[in-house]
Amino acid sequence: KRSVAEAIADKVVPAIRAQEGWDRCEFIADDEAGDYGIVALWASKQAADAAASVISPILMPALAVAKGTPSIRLFEVYEQKQS
């Protein structure tokens, strides 16, 4: 439900944005599919890893109230070379 997802985002997004090394953090939603998420871009993998220890204690209890199976994944960002 979107209201549950927004409540989670309201708790987690400010915590992410308070961490050193964050570049961008957005709440994303697909109401038709019932899929919601948070996308965070970090300056480095090291910044993401360091922030995880602060964010996880906030995120995991918040996700416990959500129905479904939450997924936390780390992706590398590909930046196309300028020609």
- Using one digit for the tens of pLDDT, what is the confidence trace for 15-54? 999 999 999 999 999 999 988 888 999 999 999 999 999 9
On whether the CB atoms of residues 10 and 36 are closer than 8 A, the answer is no
- Cut 0.85: pTM above it: no
Predicted confidence (pLDDT) per residue in 62-77, tens digit: 888 877 777 888 888 8
Amino acid identity, position 2: R
Question: What per-residue confidence (pLDDT) applies to 51?
Answer: 92
- List the one residue out of 57, 54, 45 whose CA is nearest residue 21: 45
Residue 19 is predicted with a pLDDT of 93
pLDDT of residue 46: 92
